[in-house]
């Protein structure tokens, strides 16, 4: 099955949605109704607002599976080949702890081919905010691609996602979703800025990656909405300049967060008057 | 197209969740002895005054045992229709997945009996087969006269029952698929430990023989006695008798040690308790309540003495089996 290169790679679930969502929803810009605002988690990490698999919009049929494992290779091989043949994208989860924060990691299986001796799977995983790809049999994948120590060898957890045109009835960017997200929470206050400054350097680096992704999505959204946001060009160019600068990372993050707030405010103002743009 | 998955008369069927699962595994569970090191502990839950099997819960059936591949699916209600949902259920059955969900049982009872009850009765449902030409699902449960029966439900009736609560915003369901290479086996050490645990009723917990005591205590102040709990007690003793017979057949006990007539007396005692519960719930006669209480405590003592003797014999025999091993 085909996949596309995602714009967001800092969040695995959002990446997957972007990679596999139906062309019509991607090319019409519908998907950019989402990811408009960032939230701050307790550990000061920024995060795109929870709209991970769009199952609630009927875009994907999403199913969650728990598979008891007696023989890892055999059981996982059997499960993957069965559901990939039925046009499901299959996500295998693992739990691991990185940099003192508990994270859930996954591998996306998006294709399989039966060769003479084995099933060969196409899969990908996320590392350092990048997607890496691998093709191989289940034992090659386990040996060379998955860090088995993070995998539960007694019970595997899978999400299965299937797209289908009959599942949805959207064909353009959904302003109501965008407006409601903008109204809800995009306020990053003084304390948040302070926390950003004193955050762990790993968190600062991750937040910079997320802000950059958010900015790219912001530009795409603007393009799909065909709108001119008053004064935004100035902020956008500042955003690019600061991002490319050699500033101290913490300082850079604070400056970018201030610009993020300003850009969102401009977008919100622009959407208040719906007649000022065309869809 | 028609596909019907194996579905047996469940031996464990006090509660729907267990009953549906045993419809799938009954044959394997009993023929291999798998069941006999499980379903020993009982639990009394004071909040609802029920007796139930401990550790074996509907949604986490035999947790950690790895009997089933489980799936969970949610679909937003506005994206649901009969064709789509029934199609997904057909796909599940084609994949050897049994379908579990909550539905409005009244809609199905109305269809089966011609009654016209408009009250929603949220209850578990189970589908083990379909016939897409006749547009029917094959199901089972206690829908009529408290009798366990198999029945057929047309797609449209089933969909109406399933979409009974649109305010939830979704239709959600569960799939259970039997793990093909599951190792069905009997663990006599685990059974022995569980029997000892069952007999330990000096800890004032709500477990095991304490659970039974508390259930009989509560009877004296409750208006209506929970019938399924009384049935659960009887089923537990029926299973205990089968367990003893299995132990004899597999030489963990000899016939003299097993004293099966004593176990049959206990079983009969609980049959009588069940009958008295039914009578009491109709008449609320205080004399019946008194009889129930006396018989209940008598049976607890009898069972305690009987199983204490059995565990001693098992211990002796297990040591000799291990020596031989």
Please state, in angstroms and rounded to a whole number, the distance separating the CA atoms of residues B212 and B206.
8
The answer, for B174 touching chain A at a CB cutoff of 8 Å, is: no
Nearest to B74 among A55, A57, A79 (CB): A55
Q: Which of residues 53-72 of B touch A (CB under 8 A)?
A: 65-72
**B191: distance to nearest CA of chain A, Å?**
23
**B97: distance to nearest CA of chain A, Å?**
12
Output the CA–CA distances (angstroms, integers) from residue A275 to A1, A8, A225, A260, A278, in the order listed: 40, 30, 12, 24, 7
Please state, in angstroms and rounded to a whole number, the distance separating the CA atoms of residues A105 and A97.
10
CB contact under 8 A, B72 and A70: no
**8 A C-beta contact, residue B139 and residue B152:** yes
Chain A residues with CB inside 8 Å of B170's CB? 56
Output the CA–CA distances (angstroms, integers) from residue B45 to A151, B208, B218, in the order listed: 36, 11, 11
Nearest to B73 among A57, A63, A71 (CB): A63
CB contact under 8 A, B72 and A64: yes
**A172: distance to nearest CA of chain B, Å?**
18
Angle between helices B286-324 and B227-249 (to 10 degrees): 30
Residue B279 CB coordination number (10 Å):
14
Structure tokens at B294: 């006396």
Q: How many CB pairs under 8 A join A and B?
A: 51
Q: What is the pLDDT of residue B312?
A: 93
CB contact under 8 A, A70 and B78: no
Residue A166 CB coordination number (10 Å):
9
Structure tokens at B72: 């969970």
DSSP state of A144: I
Output the CA–CA distances (angstroms, integers) from residue B166 to A29, A178, B83, B109, B172, in the order listed: 30, 26, 17, 20, 11
The low-confidence residues of chain B, meaning pLDDT below 70, are 56-64, 222, 321-325
Nearest to B69 among A67, A74, A166 (CB): A67
Which of B59, B67, B74 to substitute to test the interface with A, most A CBs within 10 Å? B74
Q: What is the pLDDT of residue B239?
A: 97
Chain B residues with CB inside 8 Å of A67's CB? 69
Please state, in angstroms and rounded to a whole number, the distance separating the CA atoms of residues B233 and B213.
12
Nearest to A68 among B71, B72, B179 (CB): B179
CB contact under 8 A, B182 and A70: yes
**B23: distance to nearest CA of chain A, Å?**
20
**8 A C-beta contact, residue B76 and residue A56:** yes
Helices (H) and strands (E) in chain B, counts: 10, 9
Profile chain A (279 residues) by mean pLDDT over runs of 10 residues.
92 92 88 87 79 79 91 90 94 64 78 92 92 93 78 85 68 78 71 79 92 93 82 87 92 92 87 58
Output the CA–CA distances (angstroms, integers) from residue A86 to A265, B3, B21, B48, in the order listed: 45, 18, 26, 44
Chain A residues with CB inside 8 Å of B84's CB? 166
Please state, in angstroms and rounded to a whole number, the distance separating the CA atoms of residues A126 and A149.
17
Q: What is the pLDDT of residue A111?
A: 96
The answer, for A198 touching chain B at a CB cutoff of 8 Å, is: no
Provide the 3-class DSSP secondary structure of residue B188.
helix
CB contact under 8 A, A66 and B69: yes
Residue A164 CB coordination number (10 Å):
13
Q: Where are the alpha helices (DSSP H) in chain A?
A: 12-20, 23-27, 72-85, 138-140, 175-184, 190-198, 201-225, 232-244, 249-272
Partners of A123 in the β-ladder: A109, A134
Q: Where are the alpha helices (DSSP H) in A47-117?
A: 72-85
Q: What is the pLDDT of residue B311?
A: 95
Pairing of strands B42-45, B50-53: antiparallel
Angle between helices B105-113 and B155-162 (to 10 degrees): 150
Provide the 3-class DSSP secondary structure of residue B241.
helix
**8 A C-beta contact, residue A19 and residue A113:** no
**8 A C-beta contact, residue B196 and residue B96:** no
In chain A, what is the greatest distance between 2 CA atoms, to the nearest angstrom? 62
Partners of A119 in the β-ladder: A114
Structure tokens at A261: 């707030």
Partners of A91 in the β-ladder: A108, A159
CB contact under 8 A, B71 and A63: yes
Q: In this predicted complex, what is the ipTM?
A: 0.86
Q: Which of A190, A191, A196 is nearest to A211 (CA)?
A: A196
Q: Which of residues 156-175 of A touch B (CB under 8 A)?
A: 166-168
């Amino acid at each position: 099955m085909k996949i596309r290169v995602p714009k967001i790679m800092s969040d695995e679930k959002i990446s997957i949605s972007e990679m596999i969502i139906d062309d019509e929803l991607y090319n019409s810009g519908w998907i950019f109704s989402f990811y408009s605002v960032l939230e701050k988690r307790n550990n000061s990490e920024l995060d795109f607002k929870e709209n991970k698999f769009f199952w609630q919009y009927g875009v994907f049929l999403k199913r969650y599976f728990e598979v008891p494992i007696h023989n890892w290779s055999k059981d996982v091989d059997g499960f993957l080949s069965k559901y990939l043949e039925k046009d499901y994208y299959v996500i295998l989860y693992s739990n691991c702890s990185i940099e003192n924060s508990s994270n859930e990691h996954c591998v996306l299986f998006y294709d399989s081919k039966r060769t003479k001796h084995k099933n060969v799977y196409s899969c990908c995983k996320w590392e350092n905010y990048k997607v890496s790809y691998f093709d191989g049999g289940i034992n090659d994948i386990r040996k060379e691609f998955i860090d088995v120590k993070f995998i539960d060898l007694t019970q595997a957890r899978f999400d299965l996602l299937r797209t289908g045109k009959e599942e949805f009835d959207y064909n353009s960017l959904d302003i109501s979703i965008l407006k409601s997200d903008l109204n809800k929470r995009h306020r990053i206050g003084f304390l948040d800025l302070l926390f950003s400054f004193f955050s762990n350097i790993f968190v600062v680096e991750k937040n910079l990656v997320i802000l950059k992704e958010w900015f790219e999505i912001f530009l795409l959204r603007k393009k799909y909405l065909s709108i001119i946001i008053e004064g935004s060009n100035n902020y956008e160019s500042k955003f690019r300049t600061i991002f490319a600068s050699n500033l101290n990372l913490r300082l850079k993050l604070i400056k970018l967060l201030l610009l993020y707030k300003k850009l969102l405010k401009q977008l919100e103002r622009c959407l208040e008057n719906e007649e000022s743009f065309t869809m | 197209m028609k596909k019907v998955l194996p579905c047996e008369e469940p031996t464990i069927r006090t509660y729907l969740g267990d009953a549906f699962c045993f419809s799938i595994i009954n044959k394997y569970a009993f023929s291999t002895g798998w069941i006999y090191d499980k379903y020993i502990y009982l639990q009394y839950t004071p909040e609802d005054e029920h007796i139930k099997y401990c550790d074996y819960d509907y949604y986490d059936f035999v947790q950690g045992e790895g009997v089933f591949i489980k799936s969970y699916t949610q679909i937003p209600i506005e994206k649901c229709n009969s064709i789509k949902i029934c199609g997904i259920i057909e796909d599940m059955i084609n994949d050897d997945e049994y379908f579990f969900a909550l539905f409005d049982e009244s809609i199905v009872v109305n269809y089966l009996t011609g009654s016209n009850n408009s009250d929603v009765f949220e209850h578990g449902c189970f589908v083990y087969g379909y016939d897409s030409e006749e547009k029917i699902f094959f199901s089972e449960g206690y829908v009529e006269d408290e009798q366990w029966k198999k029945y057929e439900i047309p797609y449209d009736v089933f969909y109406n029952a399933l979409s009974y609560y649109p305010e939830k915003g979704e239709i959600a369901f569960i799939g259970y698929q039997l793990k093909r290479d599951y190792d069905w086996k009997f663990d006599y050490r685990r059974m022995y430990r569980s029997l000892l645990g069952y007999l330990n009723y000096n800890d004032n917990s709500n477990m095991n023989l304490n659970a039974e005591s508390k259930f009989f205590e509560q009877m004296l102040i409750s208006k209506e006695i929970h019938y399924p709990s009384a049935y659960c007690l009887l089923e537990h003793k029926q299973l205990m008798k089968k367990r003893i017979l299995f132990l004899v057949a597999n030489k963990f006990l000899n016939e003299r040690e097993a004293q099966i007539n004593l176990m049959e007396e206990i079983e009969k005692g609980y049959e009588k308790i069940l009958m008295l519960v039914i009578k009491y719930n109709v008449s609320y006669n205080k004399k019946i309540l008194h009889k129930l209480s006396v018989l209940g405590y008598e049976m607890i003592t009898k069972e305690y003495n009987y199983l204490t003797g059995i565990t001693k014999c098992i211990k002796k025999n297990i040591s000799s089996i291990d020596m031989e091993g």
